Amino acid sequence: MFKRLPFLSGALVLLTLQAGAQSTAGDYAGTITPENLRKHLTVIAHDSLEGRATGSPGQKKAAEYVASYYRQYGLKPAAADASGKPGFFQVYNLYRGAWESAHIRKGRQLYELNRDFYIDGLANMPEDESLTTIFAGYGISEGSYNDYENLDVRNKAVVVFEGEPGSGNGNYLLSGSTEPSKWGRARAWEEKARLALSKGARTIIIISSQNAQGFEKEIQRRASMAPRVRRLSLRQEEAPARNLAAFTVGEAAAASLLGIREKKLKKLKAKTDKGSSSWKKHIGDDITIMAKRQSEVVPTENVAALLEGTDKKDEIVVISAHLDHIGISPDGQINNGADDDGTGTVALLELAEAFSKAKAEGKGPRRSILFLNVTGEEMGLLGSEFYSENPLFPSENHVANLNIDMIGRVDDAHKDNPDYVYLIGSDKLSSELHAISENANQKYVNLTLDYTFNHPDDPNRFYYRSDHYNFAKKGIPVIFYFTGVHEDYHRPGDDVEKILFDRQARIVKLIFHTAWELANRGERIKVDSNKP
């Protein structure tokens, strides 16, 4: 036994030396690796998460995934569930305006939304309204061409053809060329609805220019697309102030609503196309119509995990990224959002691991670090707005926010030098924050820090466009880390295989060292400026 003592003491010395070496931040940053980033991103940006649209099952899977690692790293749940039990999810509700029901009735005939017609825009007609229809050609008034001439459409439902009249030789009457005028373009319904309302009409019904089969397909396409394209909001939709909406029906329904035969409608079309006004007498009939909105509730969750500090644990450094992406495109393609913002999401996991390892070895930060994965970003920074309005810790205790959104690709400006990162916001509220960031880069990482987008005159205005701004608004200094947009931005091609993991790891290390200093320095950084 004794004989082995020299060896043992030698081992002890070695251990002590190692422990001493590990007291530097640099060694903990070593746990941040390209391999780990890739491992996590392969899950987060997998097709099975279906593009992580806010509130979708895929977004919730992503939330479960990051929470499971925070749990594994021993982080504290920073939020609470409905019963007050601590949890990693800060659950909040978003709202999506949708049609509760809408129909048009003519005698015993009932026409229903998503079966017989579709609606563009927002109408406020929650109760059945008895109206008289009135045919008004194409519903156009421009220059000497006026479909409303001698028509009294007040308080009526104007019925018009979709599109615009041709001039017979392949050109459009109004433009005199093959170029459609504003009345024939994609969102022409709005022009026509505005004009009808300005003439005193109650609402407008548009007769689709498609044949019965094409129209049926269009109705189906819109019905299936609607939940994907409708905006989410933190607030319930208010009743629309006016009826800026158009009901688009097929020819058979239109004829019925006007009280004429379909054959006559076809004749009317031919006459209208010739610019004839011989139809200009009241063609119409009595109908009832209603369209009622409701707010659908879409529950979602920010993920909030706390690495508790030591002697200054009430002060919080927030590191954030957004968990959500844009989901599935109307054409069915999945937008995996590997860069946007899979790269930020997995960066948080690596940062959490590095700091928790330091803490486990007695080198935990003095201030607390909050890892915050927000949702609703792609719908207008909603998750970070919710957090900033409902912070899990007193707002004034938030020392800084380091926000990461897209750090995996190279933009056109850096094709020849991919070792860069755009920093935005670092000097806006705190000169100390900027100095800490610069210093961390010089000492550990040596990336080119590009401040192009930090310039107040930069037209992109990125300082105002990601989640950090909801912290900056509250006077909390921020740095936004970003490597710029690219050809796959918000497209199905934003995939894992295009991510530069080596360079990403260096950016994550820069963030680690910056956060380390923010969390460990004696004095909390000061807010000493407010630059635009």
In the complex, the residues that contact Zn ion under the rule CB under 5 A are: 340-341, 405
| Residues 507, 319: Cα–Cα separation, whole Å | 14
| Residues 418, 414: Cα–Cα separation, whole Å | 6
Q: Which two tokens stand for residue 4?
A: 């082995």
CB nearer to Zn ion: give 50 or 405.
405
Reduced to 3 states, what is the DSSP secondary structure of residue 248? strand
Terminal CA-CA length for the chain? 71
CB nearer to Zn ion: give 346 or 399.
346
CA 274 to each of CA 80, 173, 271, 278, 337: distance values in angstroms, whole numbers, following the listed order: 68, 9, 5, 11, 51
CB nearer to Zn ion: give 341 or 494.
341
Q: How far is the CB of 321 from Zn ion (least distance, A)?
A: 8
Strands 125-135 and 286-307: antiparallel
Q: How far is the CB of 171 from Zn ion (least distance, A)?
A: 45
Q: How far is the CB of 15 from Zn ion (least distance, A)?
A: 44
Backbone angles phi, psi at 267, to 5 degrees: -65, -40
CB nearer to Zn ion: give 117 or 471.
471
| Residues 525, 100: Cα–Cα separation, whole Å | 51
| Residues 414, 449: Cα–Cα separation, whole Å | 12
Q: How far is the CB of 405 from Zn ion (least distance, A)?
A: 4
CB nearer to Zn ion: give 87 or 337.
337
CB nearer to Zn ion: give 140 or 500.
500
| Residues 485, 406: Cα–Cα separation, whole Å | 8
Q: How far is the CB of 467 from Zn ion (least distance, A)?
A: 8
In 65-178, DSSP assigns E strands to 76-77, 79-80, 86-87, 89-106, 109-112, 117-122, 125-135, 141-142, 145-146, 157-161
CB nearer to Zn ion: give 206 or 338.
338
CA 162 to each of CA 147, 181, 188: distance values in angstroms, whole numbers, following the listed order: 13, 13, 8
What's the one-letter identity of residue 399? V
Encode 504-523 in three state secondary structure: HHHHHHHHHHHHHHHHHCCC
Backbone angles phi, psi at 459, to 5 degrees: -65, -20
Q: How far is the CB of 482 from Zn ion (least distance, A)?
A: 9
CB nearer to Zn ion: give 208 or 345.
345
Q: How far is the CB of 340 from Zn ion (least distance, A)?
A: 4
C-alpha Rg value of the chain to the nearest Å: 30
CB nearer to Zn ion: give 162 or 494.
494
Q: How far is the CB of 341 from Zn ion (least distance, A)?
A: 4
Reduced to 3 states, what is the DSSP secondary structure of residue 280? coil
Q: How far is the CB of 233 from Zn ion (least distance, A)?
A: 18
Q: How far is the CB of 218 from Zn ion (least distance, A)?
A: 32
Reduced to 3 states, what is the DSSP secondary structure of residue 39? helix
* Contact of 196 with 153, CB cutoff 8 Å: yes
Neighbours of 349 (CB within 10 A): 28
251: enclosing H helix or E strand: helix 251-258
CB nearer to Zn ion: give 340 or 488.
340
